[in-house]
Amino acid sequence: MAIVVDSSAIAAIVFGEADAPALSAVMRAHAGAVQVSAATVLEARMVVQARQGDAATTDLDRLLHSVDAEVVAFDDRQSALAFAAWRRFGRGRHAASLDFGDCISYALAKSVDVPLLYKGDDFAQTDVSSAL
């Protein structure tokens, strides 16, 4: 089964946070069936670069390569799903408080109908399935 990965999970792994082993285990278990939006890769690169510099960006790229992640282009269908997610679950509209990047990951997961790997409680308050 495939999974979609959110930037929150990618950043947690790169930063070596407490839940990194569990998150990376899920990614490894789905190697070859990991999908991530191109926009999510950009967001994750920006976050890790800002906090830890070039080495962290290299670690992120290695992580995605190690699980043979498919970087998926953000298309019109995903744009519509992301907008619908923001209207339903967006910050200031719902307790899930999804931001721009969250809506992109949500949209990809919904468009391919697979679970989403993420860190935190925001997606748990939506109708997307968890990969954990």
* CA dist 87 → 39, 81, 93, 114, 123 (Å): 19, 10, 7, 21, 14
Q: What is the pLDDT along the chain (132 residues), one digit of tens a residue?
A: 899 999 999 999 999 999 999 999 999 999 999 999 999 999 999 999 999 999 999 999 999 999 999 999 999 999 999 999 999 998 787 677 799 999 999 999 999 999 999 999 899 999 999 999
Tell me the whole-structure pTM to 2 decimals. Answer: 0.94
**Full strand arrangement of the beta sheet holding 3-5:** 70-72, 34-37, 3-5, 116-117
User: How do the domains of the chain map onto residue ranges?
Assistant: 3-116
**Locate tokens 């992640």: which residue?**
69
CATH fit for domain 3-116, picks 3.30.300.10, 3.40.50.1010, 1.20.1250.20, 1.20.120.50: 3.40.50.1010
